[in-house]
Structure formats: structure tokens, C-alpha cells
Structure 1
Amino acid sequence: MRKKNFLAILFLSVWMFSYAQNNIKSVQLKPFGATNFAAIVPLGKTLLLSFDDLDADQKAYSYKIQHMDSDWKPSSISTNQYIVGFNQNSILEYENSFNTLQNYTHYKVEIPNENTKITKSGNYLISVLDDAQNSIFSRRFTLYESKVLVGATVERKRNTQITNQQQIVHFTINYNANEIKNPSQEIKTVVLQNNIWETAISNLKPQFFRNNQLVYQYYNKTSFYSGNEYLNFDNKQIRNSTVQIARVEKKDIYNAYLYPQEPRKLNPYTYFPDINGQFVVRTTEGNNPFTEADYAIVHFSLDADEIPTKEVYVYGAFNDFKTTQENKMTFNSETKKYEVSILLKQGFYNYTFATKGKNNTINTHEINGSFYQTENEYTVLVYYKAFGENYQRVIGVGSATTHQQ
């Protein structure tokens, strides 16, 4: 009996925690006042963290900041070595939604602020905590110095078997030999595609040393599947259908039914501009999209022909490029489609379809295809840990964007 009671309590606790997590929506961490989305900024630049709580009851949330190494493990330095002020503090800016069917409270905090000033470059994890000090969600960001010059290029991979599917990144690092004595041991690099950490390539060693320059000219280790351009929809006019939205129904809240999509793997490549999986909150019904944009249940569907027998997900920044129950699709035997309904705030959204295999590997080209022409953004981060130091700095960033070839 005790075992049954324990299991019941455990199940209830897990369910309540999961339910609480589902109340948090529209999380974004991006440069303040900028149009780009990458949370990779110079040391001292302001980042804005914002999110909504659908409980709309003004909870006592706080944030906590922790310095991490290049592998996203906690570094060994103490808080007072990288922060002036407090690494944990209350989130004091919040505002209730106005004139929306779905009530919510919008929270935001700027980093740095008068209570928290970060003094060291490197990787950081910011976590939002509830009043019981439970972590509700976390986001990554990187602060960098410009101590080295990073040059990066991206090109179509020359391997004849997959030349039409992959892109490869080449880069160089120019450094001051008076400051960096042993670059092969003190420098580490990470390469990102579209600022997605889950697919990052790391642990690369320079192939050549030339007069204070490190050369990374790999032809396999720095290659990425190009993928395909992201799909999109825009419901800033929440009552209307569009070229992507087949119909809209108003129930307790709005329901937007997207046109069914087909697998694109066998289709020829077609260019259309995207924002690499990100989303922008916006509305035509109000002046302040953060509190006047409404929520809608967005219904996604994907034709099941030629779909592998794997888990299928709707994938994008709206869910931090994660695979969870919220964005997992289920097969509908009547419609012969994979389907899922997701509650999303009004705006412009990029998304794609991803599969997950038995080893939990995420694959975004199994359904969508991969084409060398796809436009992607690549970022090279340079980490530096001098002899005797106990943490890694980020001393340089390089970037390259593919163009139609």
C-alpha cells in the first residue's frame, strides 16, 4: 500500500510539474533592440529575456545566472569572479495581457542590469526559478571579447556521394603570439549552424600553423547537412486565413488550421527567405505585441506517405529546438496524416519537421530533404583558457552565411 501511495504521489508531482511547465510560453532571449536572434553578443551588450505565464497570476519569479565551460558544464570559478552584484535576483517587470481571449502575464528582464553585471566572457546559463526555487526553464547565451580575428567561409561539400546535401565550414584564427603562448593547448573551437547548440561541432584541432594563424581546413569534420528552407505561417491577423492558414475558427480561443504539408525530400529545391527557425511576436490588433498579441491553437498536419516509422515533431525556436510531448505529432489513421495542435502566440513563425530515431538522434532532413543551396548561418566561437586559469573565455567570433550557388 505504501508503495502504491508513493507512486501515486510521485505521478501527481510529475504531472503538476509538467502542467506548470506548459503554462510557460513564448520564451525568447535575444539582443535588446536588435533584429537578430542570436544570444551570442559582445561582453557588456544587453540581452532581453521575455516569456508569458498563462496562469496570469503574477508569480514571484527570479532568475539565476551561472558561468559554464565550452561543453556547457558548470565552470569552477565562484560567482563573485564573474558577476558584480547578484547572480540571482527577482524579475520585477511584468504586465498582464490586454484585450485577449487567452489571459497571460508577460515577464521580462534585461541582462546586465543594475543588480547584475557580468565581468567575464564565456558561456552562461540563465534559469528562471519559481518561489520554491524550482527551475522552470533555462536558456543559453554567450558573451565574447574580440581578442582574435576569425575568418570563416562556407561552401558546398565536394564528396561526390553527398555533394548536394552538405555544406562545409572552413575557418582561420589570427592571434597575438605575445598573448597566446600555446594555442594548440589553450584554444578550443565550436561551430554552430543557425545558432543551434544541439548540432554543434567541437573538439577541433588546427590542421596548420602559419605565422600566428591557426588554419582549420577540414573536409569532413566541419560539415553539416544543409537541410531545407524552413516552412512558415503568419497569424498577425488572427481572425483571417492566409496563404499558409486554411481556415480560422473562434472557440474559447482562436484555432488556426494550417494547410497540410507534404514531405519535401524528393522535391526540387525551392528558395524562399526564412529566419532559420525563429519566430517574431506581432499583431495588427494592438500597439504592444508583448501584451496585446493573443494566443491561438495552431493545427499542423503532414502527409504520411513515405514517412519513416520514427517519432515525428514540429521543430523550431518556439520550443527551443527540443523534442517534447507538446510538439510531437501523432498519426491519424482516418486522415492518413501526422497531426499535432500547439498553442502559440500571434506572430510570424518558422518551423520544420524533425524525426527522432532509437538513439534519440534528431534528423531534420529525413522528411524535408537536404540541398546545398539552402541558406544557413554558421558561427565559429573561439574559447581560450590560459595556463593556470580555471575558466574559459570566449575571445573571438566569426560568421559566414551561405548563398545560392
Structure 2
Amino acid sequence: MLRYFLPAALLTTSACVPLGTPITDPNAPRGSQAQRPPEYYADKTLRYEDYTYNPDVRSVQCYVATGQNTEIFQPPVVPISQQQPIVLEFDILGNGSQRLTAKLVHCDLDWKPSVLTDLQFLSEINEFLITDYRTGVNVKVPYYHYRMQVPRVKLSGNYLLVVSGAGGVPVVSRRLLVYENGVEVGIRQGIPVAGQERYTLQQVDFSISYNGLNLVNPSQEVKVMLRQNFRWDNAKTNLRPTFVRDAERRLDYQYFNFENAFPASSEFRYFDMRSVRTMGAGMAELDPTTAPRTVVLSPEASRNGQSYTQFDDINGQRVFESREYGNGATNGDYANVTFRLRADQPAPGPVYVFGALTDWKLQDEFKLTYNVEQKEYAGTALLKQGYYNYYYVVGKPSGAPDDVYFEGSHQETENQYDLLVYYRPPGTRADLLIGYQSIDVNSRRP
């Protein structure tokens, strides 16, 4: 799939001698060699966010089935017509299949469950048995691959798709968005009003025309959320319009204190593990004889303070594919992948690998350990065969992690932004998603 748009330059890499060996856990469940500590999964309470609740659940993807080669990069956001459905795919490690069911939860704009009954947003019983599953073929790490198409809903808004196993215990949850075109959204790249910030930040200005709505207090009734690369962890919320143009029935959002600006960071790092027989880009060592296979990545360095380097990335996403057998869904195998990051001194906080491969969360499995003698961070995670984007980030006590410390920030970076517009009509009990628009800043695609 990815081969249609990856540049040839990404297909080569230089080799080096690895400084460590991958860590395996012989007691990991079902032969998974999982690295995530059990504490991460101890609490099975449902979270209204993108989350996995079982260490055997891997390689979760939720996207819009457009029929194109790049469909897996389409976030789970669809118009109310839902002509192209949302699809959920994931693996569960082990030799046996499981009985899994799914349901939808309608949520308010702040991702708390709404008071709506199932029949108010669905036309069928809110329990869906997942019957599309297949076993992994010719793999050293056994797994079953599950796939389901999300049913159509009657209302726009926020939805949480919850997959549960035996006893109703949640297995995986994913946020979905269904929007209607109740307002007209205009979105454009702005320029940060400052000095040095204009070289490191990207600002997104936007406006909302509400001719079709009878609003009494539009600045309070309309709620918006701004995201970068479809992430939730650093989304901008509680944005109020800077100008309310009653005569034109338009709200303008153009700030001067960086309320709608994001660190642009750099293009995502990458490695190519679509083959488990030959080394791809970013790989320094491959041992196909171990179970799971062992991959050690080339040591990397901080990019903070360096000049901007342009190359095509996939904005933190990943693609599962097998160069040997084709279909990555069931032919892709798993490998223990060791990440290595050189650093002369420890960072001012814990260091993680970060991106779609971690659900955009600071997961313990992807936390790196600093070696004082080698002056290097290293850590190992179990990953499916494919092509990956990622950052190295520094965790903070609160808020989004710091990706500038190791990655730097350049306004030339290509990033995607999208705007969510919510409104609760008087007398109703649900927040509707009445507008949606996205923009690709510094796009290099034709």
C-alpha cells in the first residue's frame, strides 16, 4: 500500500553495530513477549478515549474505508450520510479466537456519555458481534486479526466505539466523529504575531458562517476544537471568537497570543520493517531466527537546533505490510524492535517513543532507559511488520508531551489540522457536530 508514495530515498540505510540486545519476557501472555507492564492494564474501567485494555491487543487502526491506497490515513471522521463507512481493525495475540462484541456510546463534546438512549441515535440493537476474523499466516507470533464496519448512526456528534470480550470487559475503545454541514467553515494558515515564534509555530485562523442557524448568543453557543495531525492530547479547546459579526452572521477566530498556534515540530522520524528478511530504512540489525524476530534500529540523535530537513512523512501514522507475502493484515509478523537515541545527558523528564504506534499516549512499553556509559536512551517494543513514523518526546507532569526537546520546531514542517464545530440546539440533550473542515499546511502533495 505504502509503496505507491514512499520516495526511493527511504529504501536505503546505513548499518551500525547495536549497543544492546532486545529484551524478551518468557512469561508474557500467549507468547506475545509483551513489554508493557501489567499495571497499565490493571484497571479495566472504560475510558472515553482511544485506549487498549489488554496487553494482547495490538496494531489497532480506525479509519474511513475510501477504497483508496491511502485510506488508512483517513481519520475516523465521516459526514452524516456515511456513504463511506468507518472501519476498525486490530490483532489479538494468541492461538485461539475470542468472542467479541461492539457497541456505540454517544458522547457530549467533552467526551462524557450523553443522556440519549440507543434508539435516539441508532436504528438497530446496540450490540454487534464481530464475525470477521482471520488467523495470522506464516508467522512466528500467533495472532487473530479482527475487522468490523461501524454501523450507521442517525445523529451527528461524538461516538465512542467499545469492543468487549468475555464478561463485558472492554478490549479496545476508539473515538469516532460524525458531522453535518450546518455551518460553513473557513480555515487557513495564519502567521504568528511575534518575533522568533513565527519560525517555530504554525497558526491556524478560521471563521464560521452561521446563516442557517438562529443563534441568540453565538459566541457562547458555538463550541470549537482545533487538532493537529488528528491528535487529541494537544487539541485546542475553549476557543472563543475574536470578532462576532452579527450583520454577516459570522464568527472570526484570529488570535494574537498563540491560542490557535501549535509547535510545528519536524517531519516525523521513520523506519521501514516491511520485510523481515532484509533490512529496510532505519534498521541496523535484523535477526530472523528468533521468535519473535529481533530488530535493532540505527542510533539516532537530537534534531533540536538543526536546520529543517524536508522529506515526505505520514504524520505519525503507520502502515502494516509484508513485502514477502503482501497483505499485512494477516501476513505481517511481529518483531521486538529496539529504539536507540543518543544523548550527552539525560533529558529533564522521562523519554518515550510517540505517535500512532502508541495511540498518541505515553505508554510504559515505549519508555526509554538512559545508559550513562553509552550516553544513549534505549527501549524495546513488540511491533507488527510495516512502515512507521514516530517522535522522541519528553513526558511532562501534565499536558501534552514535549516533542520539541529532541525534534526541534520549524514552521516549514508539513502538518494537518482539522476544526470541529459543536452546537446544542435549545431544548435538546445532545451536542451536535455541525461543522468540520481540515487543512494541510505546507502540503507537498499534488
TM-score, normalised on structure 2?
0.83
- Report what 1:176 is aligned to: 211
Deviations 1:141-193 (A, max 9, x none): 11111121111112342311422211111001112255445422321110000
Q: Judge conservation of contact 1:373–1:404 (CA < 8 Å) in 2.
A: no
- Report what 2:12 is aligned to: none
- Report what 2:359 is aligned to: 320
- 1:31 aligned to 2:70? no
What is the letter of the counterpart of residue 93 of structure 1? D
What is the letter of the counterpart of residue 186 of structure 1? E
* Aligned with 1:97 (options 116, 125, 136): 136
Is 361-370 or 275-284 further displaced after alignment?
Answer: 361-370
Q: Judge conservation of contact 1:186–1:387 (CA < 8 Å) in 2.
A: no
- Report what 1:231 is aligned to: 269
* Aligned with 1:130 (options 148, 165, 170): 165
- Report what 2:254 is aligned to: 217
What is the letter of the counterpart of residue 26 of structure 1? S
Q: Judge conservation of contact 2:352–2:366 (CA < 8 Å) in 1.
A: yes
What is the letter of the counterpart of residue 196 of structure 1? R
Q: 1:358 to 1:394 in 2, by over 3 A?
A: closer
Q: How many residues align?
A: 390
Deviation (angstroms), 1:302: 0.4
Determine the C-alpha separation between the residues in 2 that align with 1:95 and 1:17. 28
Q: Judge conservation of contact 1:299–1:339 (CA < 8 Å) in 2.
A: yes
Determine the C-alpha separation between the residues in 2 that align with 1:15 and 1:313. 15
Determine the C-alpha separation between the residues in 2 that align with 1:223 and 1:154. 10
Determine the C-alpha separation between the residues in 2 that align with 1:320 and 1:20. 12
Determine the C-alpha separation between the residues in 2 that align with 1:373 and 1:156. 12
Determine the C-alpha separation between the residues in 1 that align with 2:341 and 2:40. 29
What is the letter of the counterpart of residue 190 of structure 1? M
Deviation (angstroms), 1:229: 0.8
Could you say what secondary structure the match of 2:220 adopts?
A: helix
Q: 1:150 to 1:16 in 2, by over 3 A?
A: closer
* Aligned with 1:190 (options 192, 217, 225): 225
Q: 1:178 to 1:50 in 2, by over 3 A?
A: closer
Q: Judge conservation of contact 2:348–2:394 (CA < 8 Å) in 1.
A: no
Is 373-382 or 147-156 further displaced after alignment?
Answer: 147-156
Deviation (angstroms), 1:334: 3.8
- Report what 2:96 is aligned to: 57
Deviation (angstroms), 1:324: 1.4
Q: 1:386 to 1:360 in 2, by over 3 A?
A: closer
- 1:305 aligned to 2:341? no
Q: 1:16 to 1:26 in 2, by over 3 A?
A: closer
Q: 1:267 to 1:71 in 2, by over 3 A?
A: same
- Structure 1 segment 336-355 matched on structure 2, within 5 A: 336-355=375-394
Determine the C-alpha separation between the residues in 2 that align with 1:246 and 1:400. 36
Deviation (angstroms), 1:17: 4.7
Q: 1:404 to 1:88 in 2, by over 3 A?
A: closer
Q: Judge conservation of contact 1:37–1:278 (CA < 8 Å) in 2.
A: no
- Report what 1:202 is aligned to: 237
Deviation (angstroms), 1:264: 0.5
Determine the C-alpha separation between the residues in 2 that align with 1:25 and 1:377. 25
Determine the C-alpha separation between the residues in 1 that align with 2:342 and 2:213. 60
Could you say what secondary structure the match of 2:411 adopts?
A: coil
Q: Judge conservation of contact 2:272–2:281 (CA < 8 Å) in 1.
A: no
Is 179-188 or 253-262 further displaced after alignment?
Answer: 179-188
Determine the C-alpha separation between the residues in 2 that align with 1:297 and 1:315. 17
What is the letter of the counterpart of residue 127 of structure 1? V
Is 33-42 or 255-264 further displaced after alignment?
Answer: 33-42
What is the letter of the counterpart of residue 185 of structure 1? Q
> Please, what is the CA RMSD of the aligned residues?
2.1
- Report what 1:382 is aligned to: 421
Is 374-383 or 67-76 further displaced after alignment?
Answer: 67-76
Determine the C-alpha separation between the residues in 2 that align with 1:69 and 1:20. 23
Q: 1:178 to 1:158 in 2, by over 3 A?
A: closer
Deviation (angstroms), 1:16: 7.8
Consecutive unaligned residues of structure 2, counting only runs of 5 or more, are: 1-36, 44-51
Determine the C-alpha separation between the residues in 1 that align with 2:340 and 2:398. 25
Q: Judge conservation of contact 1:196–1:321 (CA < 8 Å) in 2.
A: yes
Q: 1:218 to 1:292 in 2, by over 3 A?
A: same
Could you say what secondary structure the match of 1:366 adopts?
A: helix
Consecutive unaligned residues of structure 1, counting only runs of 5 or more, are: 1-11
Determine the C-alpha separation between the residues in 2 that align with 1:149 and 1:233. 40
Identical positions, percent: 34
- Structure 1 segment 253-402 matched on structure 2, within 5 A: 253-359=292-398, 361-402=400-441
Is 391-400 or 357-366 further displaced after alignment?
Answer: 357-366
Deviation (angstroms), 1:404: 7.5
Q: Judge conservation of contact 1:258–1:299 (CA < 8 Å) in 2.
A: yes
